[in-house]
Structure 1
Amino acid sequence: MAWIPAVAIELPFANLVAQENVPTRVTELVKPIAAIATPEGDAVLDMGQNMVGRIRFSVTAPAGTEIKLTHAEVLDKDGNFYRGNIRTAKQTVVYIAKGEGTETYAPHFTFQGFRYVKVEGFPEQPGELPLDAFVGEVLHSDMEPTGAFECSDEMVNRLQRNIVWGQRGNFLDVPTDCPQRDERLGWTGDAQVFAGTALFNYNGGAFFTKWLRDLQADQLPDGGVPFVVPNIIQGYSSAAWGDAATVIPWAVYASLGDKRLLAEQYGSMKGWVDYIRSQGEREHIWNTGFHFGDWLALDAKEGSYMGATPNHMVTAAYFALSSRIVRDTAGVLGYADDEAYYGELAERVAAAFRDEFITPNGRVAAQTQTAHILALVFDLVDTKDRARIAKDLNELIVDNDYHLTTGFVGTPYLCFALSDNGYHETAVKLLLQKTYPSWLYSVSKGATTIWEHWDGIKPDGSFWSDDMNSFNHYAYGAVGEWMYRRIAGLSPDGAKPGYKRIRIEPDFTGGRLSYARAAYESMYGKVEAGWGFKDGQAEVYATVPANASATILLRGAVIDGVAVDGIDLAGAQGILSYRQQPEGVLIEVGSGHYVFAFARPKSSYRTYSADMRLGELVQWDAAKRVLDRHAPGFSEQLGHLRNMPLGMAANGPMGSALSKEQYEAIAGELSSLRE
């Protein structure tokens, strides 16, 4: 094909602006870890990491030699090169050598998403590819890394690394859904659910500011928001997707404390809420239009991508959330009339939600995990009903053998709903679950980024459908925000955003982890929070930078039993105040580094009881040994007893699987275990 001459066009300069985003750069070099000869005979490089960027290679070859690189994310179950999930995307680079000594090449103005590279035509083929001739160049918007998280479970640490790699691969000037197939679009819903996690891992201020300006530019005059920004596909205004217009500016404000973005986006934020209110005949229930709903939830009907949670329940919940965000934004910006107006609107929407989706007996009408999550986390239920709804959610998780069924809408908030309503131990069990569906299932299958589907690779090694099966899709990595905020206990205080005041409230209930720590490079300096157990004591660590303060909750502690760097609270420096609360000791501190020590609370141990379900008991080695010791073989043949408590095995209506003596011996020994 001949080159097409450039044409000069006379255009005005009025709309030209300087680069608003951070630059897109090569931020890391990745060397291949292996050269593979596949069963089908292909020569393939394994980069060891699903990455986004390009391959640079050096070659000495005769003029006209054609070298072809084809990129893919995974190998199939037989170990062959697989690119079915790439759909129509080429992901191919062809280089023709000029034959003048050693030549080095990498493509420009493009990027690929890949871990594996099939190489054809390299001069030394057939034979093993020379690894030192190739290097991967990682490309993404060069945001400042700000966050770090680590805990005692190495698979969770791998999950955290996968979340970060997923963000790097999809934050390439635009927050794309995936970087490899023929899509690579700035889906608003994906960005909305992941923004909180993204802003822990990196300083996304400039990145999101630029993208939100694009969103505002693409927003319709009636306030409708595109499905994707930049607006390529001409679809508009789905709940949870369009709410990127409100959720992301507020998340940036909470993280960085800068009012300017709120002021700049305020018209867009109001426009979105006003658009919702104008839809349909019912002012406070949005029941018109197309919505993605709880996208890719596992409770979807056969052949559907939309989960079982009613779409209009999702629309109502997000209507309430965005109304509250606009109310709070008006308060920050000093717009008192708007603050009152959108506050009243939010209250009416919440009331309409309760009328429509909460039964007179105080239960959620839709029996899905996501329905309960939205009701709890978006604070849409009466106080008198909250405990019951939280219990019902916990039961839905336990009945599903500690597995989730949530999709794009429910997953980001699932663990928050549990931790904040008395079921933190269940949330941690979900995090640590290794079988499908779970966060660690993909880790167990060798994932190095977050997958689009919980079972992108199935237990037998086969794949989810080629039509939509990205292996670099960050949305489910939104759990990272909960890991920072609830496990390590680090978060900005909403009353003084941007880490001017910090909340350090780690939760170690249940003893499933033995330590966790997180750090964040705030505008004031490094903030750190962490905890661990040592010699029967719990230790909580905190670093507060200059010109900042923090409130620290020591769960399960009593004032007289707390020491700070070996000194009691009354005599320690930097302690501004402290008081006893039902959940522990609440302390306010100024800048400095602190180590608080107190007797390890009973709630921090892993304990067992006869009320626990048998299927759960056998997951833990200590409990299973007790069962095997007193009832050999019983734990391997649970059958229908799996979801029943131990007591039912000895006192079931259809007969007893355990004798009274066995039950008493097992129950007594279990009650004495503490780990």
Structure 2
Amino acid sequence: MKKLLLLALILSSALLTAQKITGLVTEGLTNPLGIDTPQPHFSWKLESDKRNVMQSAYEIKVTTDEAGLKSKVLWTSGKVTSDQSLYVPYGGSALASGQRYYWQVRVWDNKGKASGWSTPAYWQMGLLKEADWKAQWISPGYEEDPLRACPLMRKEFSIGKKVKSATAYITAHGLYEAQINGKKIGDAYLTPGWTSYSKRLQYQVYDVTGMFKQGSNAIGVTLGNGWYRGLFSLGIRKDIYGSDISLLMQVNVEYTDGTTETLVSDNSWKSSTGSILSSEIYGGETIDARKEKTGWALPGYNTAGWVGVKTQSFPKNTLIATYNEPITKHETFTPVKILTTPKGEQVIDFGQNLVGWVVVKVNGKAGDTFSISHSEVLDKEGNFYTESLRGAKAQDTYILKGGATETFEPHFTWHGFRYIKIEGYPGTLKPENFTAVVLYSDMEMTGSFTSSNELINQLQHNIEWGLRGNFLDVPTDCPQRDERLGWTGDAQVFFRTASFLRGVNNFFTKWMKDVQADQYPDGAVPYVVPNTLMDWDKGSAGWGDVATIIPWDMYVAYGDKRILENQYGSMKAWVGFIQSQSTNDLWNKGNHFGDWLFYSVNDDRDGSSAITNKYFITQCFYAHSVQLLINAAQVLGKTDDVATYTTLLGRVKNAFLKEYITPNGSTVSDTQTSYVLALQFDMLPENLRAQAAERLVANIRRYNNHLTTGFLGTPYLCHVLSRFGHANVAYDLLLQKTYPSWLYPVTKGATTIWERWDGIKTDGTFQTPDMNSYNHYAYGAIGDWMYRVMVGIDVEGDGVGYKKIQIKPLPGGDFTHASADYETPYGKVASGWKIEGNTLTLTAVVPANTTAVVCVPAAAINGITEGGKAISTSKDVEVLGVENKYVKVKVGSGSYVFTAPYQK
């Protein structure tokens, strides 16, 4: 009897723990410090190795003490009958500034079985009121030199008690690196990041509990010019946000005896300069190790020669918590080749176009000076090439102090490069003395893709590295030349691809707040965000539409309705701006980039041209933005707006038809982009769409299966072709190896996406150097089609955030297999297909607490198996029917293997 009882208890315990709760995040971040949302939202993932597992209920509890989760609970949701596992709001009493809170969750599955409580997670509130800031803004007390050497600021203090907890709150006008007792605080770089500083300045929060000791302690902070006041933006301006360089820092200390102390930046600090003689984003950094103040951030340092600081009355009401992941170090590369060019230059090749800097080890005598210049490419003759950097010097210079081996590394700059040129280096260049370090925002890697075609795999690699190189706190256009700006058009065309590759929800939540902050009173959106251009640099179709496109795409990808709530005013204002620029519902005013960098032709092939009328494009995006505003209004329950904008959309499309479509159904421009946009945005009535798709195909065939689209047409090109039954043409374009095509740069050795289709021409020469980046992600938007159509991972119906999933692969071309996986907010989804002879095998993985419609490429149900058995006999597979050469089935969570007869 006792054995039976023991067995029953073991089985009961196994059933209770069959599900596992993982991935706890607060406001989309893992154990974040510094949250200023009054009601933070909680999300988690349910993991199970069983099929058809759904959540039926959850319970959350919150406390201020991790041990209190077992007894002293601050707030509990109670058992809530719901399958919601994303964005559940905190519902307890008001949260306190600086307080840390712990939470955990348990769930019940669809069979009523409870999981165990999750491992606890935590978050810490930021400083919620301006009055919580006791620190003062301080600036260096000395007179700056013309090169603006980086300031050092320090404060020494004594701690006589044992520290229970210590939290540092730091921001700057400029960039900062902070130390306590000589050790760097945190692992972030280029902090506080880049926002619309005059309206939104982020501060960072660090747990520095373990960095203090009883007795004397010291805080040291180095400042750099950065985006705030450095030489930056088009035209290379300085002091864009202000001419000062300043620090705001506060450390809240709690001792084990219950007492507290606040350490602040104030007029008791000291300031000086050190070894960083100059530092600029475009120019690079100059470090003179002879001027290094050894031990300056340690207690007991002699501050003779240092001066005081100036307190400043800068506002604190613009301070906000940090919403996104910081820039951190990631991959490192060692040289793959050290070479001497035909010009006699000493050059190192790291084998990958990357963004970051080079750490150098060197031995020499005091005063020895060497420089490192950066470049993405070598020219046709094999020489170092920097013309495409325009006004960016992109050079780091180091002066040795002599003696032991010295290590040099930049602080407040970064470079886009594959190659470096070394001048003046004392000694022989050795691979072990040079390490390239990659920098980008620390977003979770969420997606992967592979196929049977190695060129396509390299294209995928290039897309991924284009993201890594340009997602440094803002989505920049390029990382190497004198630009590096948050171009709105580039960001919106790439968003869906980016959301597959990385967890970009926090990254874009933060950036879209700056879009809204920099939006003009008339609703116009600037070309770049944060806006560093002139007041007239605004309002271009396809660029300003970032205000509607990214919020909607974020909602679809992540399922968080708050992005629509937060951005709805901005979305509506943008549509209002377009209306103000329109006459008789035609948007036919203003300056527009059009289909930027489309394929330029010098002849008129059969009466066709790759130039698309700019106002044709504006009208298409007008309709698209109105449609997305309608979508958002429907989600938010704004029924009056739905009615108003639905009427407007009808007028906009009617005006388009009258102005831009000929009686025989051709577009006035008769270009690939014109047909793509008209079809993608449903500008044509149903009876004209098929023939428009045929005209698109005819145009592609006229160009011998080459695309001619630019920034606005390219992202939708293959989507339109596959949607209208021309998948074979989409594959012809994808696999095209000659210019212009996605694979042409791959054949030329590209390791990132190029700005131009022919950045390196067929004869080995370069495109015009005034605009020719080799790390420019916009054309990488083809990734979206590869993931959502080729492999077939997409949202199904209204199942935003992948609550409902569609797996609908589209085999084609000469591929024998392709697969991808993606970490959705609910867990990993995967799809992979393989063709062997006349059999297609489709594997699918569906995360718990979701369902999926799997579309198996087959003409009939007969002959399809799952797990080796006919699908009609599977209790886990619901057959929905046959549609457009797909057999549709509905499944719950779990892993599935389908086989089907296949004919190409």
The alignment's TM-score, normalised by the length of structure 2, stands at 0.65
Q: How does 1:623-638 map to 2 (within 5 A)?
A: none
The answer to whether the Cα contact below 8 Å between 1:576 and 1:590 also exists between their aligned partners in 2 is no
Aligned counterparts of 2:797 and 2:592: Cα–Cα separation in 1? 30
Instruction: State yes or no: 1:336 paired with 2:639.
Output: yes
Instruction: State yes or no: 1:224 paired with 2:524.
Output: yes
Q: Percent identity?
A: 49
Instruction: State yes or no: 1:484 paired with 2:794.
Output: no
State the Cα deviation string for residues 602-635 of structure 1 (Å, max 9, x = none): xx2xxxxxxxxxxxxxxxxxxxxxxxxxxxxxxx
Which residue among 776, 800, 804 is the counterpart of 1:497?
Answer: 800
With 155-164 and 356-365 compared, the bigger mean Cα shift is at: 356-365
Instruction: State yes or no: 1:204 paired with 2:507.
Output: no
SS at match of 1:82: coil
The answer to whether the Cα contact below 8 Å between 1:307 and 1:407 also exists between their aligned partners in 2 is no
Match of residue 440 from structure 2: 140
SS at match of 1:512: coil
SS at match of 2:528: coil
The answer to whether the Cα contact below 8 Å between 1:43 and 1:120 also exists between their aligned partners in 2 is yes
Question: Aligned letter for 1:146?
Answer: T
1:307 to partner: Cα distance: 6.0
Which residue among 703, 713, 723 is the counterpart of 1:400?
Answer: 703
SS at match of 1:74: coil
1:481 to partner: Cα distance: 0.2
1:287 to partner: Cα distance: 0.1
1:570 to partner: Cα distance: 2.1
Q: How does 1:51-200 map to 2 (within 5 A)?
A: 51-125=354-428, 129-200=429-500
The answer to whether the Cα contact below 8 Å between 2:446 and 2:823 also exists between their aligned partners in 1 is yes
State the Cα deviation string for residues 250-277 of structure 1 (Å, max 9, x = none): 1111111111111100100000011101
RMSD over aligned Cα atoms: 1.5
The answer to whether the Cα contact below 8 Å between 1:295 and 1:307 also exists between their aligned partners in 2 is no
Q: How does 1:382-401 map to 2 (within 5 A)?
A: 382-401=685-704
Question: Aligned letter for 2:394?
Answer: Q
Which residue among 844, 847, 852 is the counterpart of 1:550?
Answer: 852
Aligned counterparts of 1:309 and 1:205: Cα–Cα separation in 2? 33
Question: Aligned letter for 1:201?
Answer: L
Question: Aligned letter for 2:419?
Answer: Y
Question: Aligned letter for 1:399?
Answer: R
The answer to whether the Cα contact below 8 Å between 1:239 and 1:292 also exists between their aligned partners in 2 is yes
Match of residue 298 from structure 1: 599
The answer to whether the Cα contact below 8 Å between 1:71 and 1:112 also exists between their aligned partners in 2 is yes
Aligned counterparts of 1:480 and 1:474: Cα–Cα separation in 2? 11
Alpha carbons of structure 1 residues 184 and 494: separation in structure 2 relative to 1, 3 Å:
farther
Aligned counterparts of 1:434 and 1:566: Cα–Cα separation in 2? 39
The count of corresponding residues between Structure 1 and Structure 2 is: 594
Question: Aligned letter for 1:487?
Answer: M
Instruction: State yes or no: 1:370 paired with 2:670.
Output: no
Match of residue 634 from structure 1: none
Aligned counterparts of 1:301 and 1:332: Cα–Cα separation in 2? 47
1:505 to partner: Cα distance: 0.8
Q: How does 1:460-609 map to 2 (within 5 A)?
A: 460-509=763-812, 511-601=813-903, 604=904
Aligned counterparts of 1:495 and 1:525: Cα–Cα separation in 2? 18
1:555 to partner: Cα distance: 2.2
The answer to whether the Cα contact below 8 Å between 1:297 and 1:307 also exists between their aligned partners in 2 is yes
Aligned counterparts of 1:471 and 1:494: Cα–Cα separation in 2? 38
Aligned counterparts of 2:835 and 2:447: Cα–Cα separation in 1? 23
SS at match of 1:559: coil
Which residue among 546, 565, 572 is the counterpart of 1:244?
Answer: 546
Question: Aligned letter for 2:848?
Answer: A
Aligned counterparts of 1:526 and 1:346: Cα–Cα separation in 2? 38
Which residue among 590, 607, 612 is the counterpart of 1:289?
Answer: 590
Question: Aligned letter for 1:170?
Answer: N
Which residue among 569, 575, 578 is the counterpart of 1:267?
Answer: 569
The alignment's TM-score, normalised by the length of structure 1, stands at 0.86
Structure 1: unaligned runs, 5 residues or longer: 605-675
Report the structure, 1 or 2, having the larger helix content: 1
The answer to whether the Cα contact below 8 Å between 2:872 and 2:879 also exists between their aligned partners in 1 is no
Aligned counterparts of 2:702 and 2:602: Cα–Cα separation in 1? 20
Question: Aligned letter for 1:122?
Answer: Y
Q: Which entry has the higher C-alpha Rg, 1 or 2?
A: 2
Match of residue 415 from structure 1: 718
Aligned counterparts of 1:174 and 1:459: Cα–Cα separation in 2? 33
The answer to whether the Cα contact below 8 Å between 2:610 and 2:671 also exists between their aligned partners in 1 is no
Alpha carbons of structure 1 residues 310 and 34: separation in structure 2 relative to 1, 3 Å:
same
Aligned counterparts of 2:842 and 2:834: Cα–Cα separation in 1? 7
Q: How does 1:310-321 map to 2 (within 5 A)?
A: 310-321=613-624
Alpha carbons of structure 1 residues 385 and 50: separation in structure 2 relative to 1, 3 Å:
same
SS at match of 1:498: helix
1:157 to partner: Cα distance: 0.4
1:418 to partner: Cα distance: 0.7
State the Cα deviation string for residues 3-48 of structure 1 (Å, max 9, x = none): 6786432123222111122110011111111101111111111010
1:301 to partner: Cα distance: 7.3
Question: Aligned letter for 1:296?
Answer: L
Question: Aligned letter for 1:89?
Answer: A
SS at match of 1:226: coil
Report the structure, 1 or 2, having the larger strand content: 2
The answer to whether the Cα contact below 8 Å between 1:429 and 1:512 also exists between their aligned partners in 2 is no
Question: Aligned letter for 1:527?
Answer: V
1:65 to partner: Cα distance: 1.0
